[in-house]
């Protein structure tokens, strides 16, 4: 018996099955794209600049471009925020006086001198809040030279940095 091709159940079912499979694949792919947020690459290393000025610490973080001394840099005062497990380089400077800078829990101590740049490197291995100690070597206490080293997970650090922008 002759059955026109467009009415043959074997052909009709085959076409429907193909359409259904194509639609299911499209819906599945769209669901994956919506359900998984874009994952940011891990932070391998970070460089920040800390400058002593007028008895305060000014902290400069790289912006979205990852470079210092560009218009998108982020600034903070007194406290240094870094991600846990990331090799961190601090470029230490002074605009006016000689200062000392120390992160006792990271076993780091350095001096900041006008017109010179010194480098500190450390890699925090545990999240938490630690002591940041500064002094301008004049014998007086300046509370704005005392701060915190805040070590955060990478997502927490990124969220904090976005909030500062």
Q: What is the pLDDT of residues 53-87, one digit of tens each?
A: 999 999 999 988 889 999 999 999 999 999 999 99
Q: What percent of the chain has a predicted confidence (pLDDT) above 90?
A: 61
pLDDT tier, 39 (very low <50, low <70, confident <90, very high otherwise): confident
Global pTM? 0.75
Higher confidence at residue 28 or residue 111? 111
Where do the structural domains in the chain lie, given as residue ranges?
A: 5-35, 45-164
118-122: strand order across its sheet:
74-77, 56-61, 45-53, 87-94, 118-122
Q: What percent of the chain has a predicted confidence (pLDDT) above 70?
A: 76
Does 45-164 carry CATH code 3.30.365.10? Answer: no
């Amino acid at each position: 018996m002759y059955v026109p091709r467009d009415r043959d159940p074997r052909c009709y079912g085959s076409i429907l099955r193909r359409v259904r499979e194509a639609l299911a694949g499209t819906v599945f792919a769209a669901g994956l794209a919506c359900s998984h947020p874009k994952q940011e690459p891990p932070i391998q290393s970070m460089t920040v600049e800390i400058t002593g000025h007028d008895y305060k610490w000014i902290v400069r973080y790289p912006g979205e471009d990852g470079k210092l001394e560009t218009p998108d840099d982020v600034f903070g005062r007194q406290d240094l925020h870094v991600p846990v497990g990331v090799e961190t380089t601090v470029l230490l400077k002074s605009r006016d006086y000689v200062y000392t800078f120390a992160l006792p829990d990271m076993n780091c101590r350095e001096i900041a001198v006008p017109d010179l740049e010194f480098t500190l490197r450390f890699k925090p291995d545990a999240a938490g809040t630690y002591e940041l100690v500064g002094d301008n070597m004049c014998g007086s206490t300046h509370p704005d030279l005392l701060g915190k080293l805040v070590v955060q997970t990478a997502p927490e650090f990124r969220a904090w940095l976005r909030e500062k922008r």
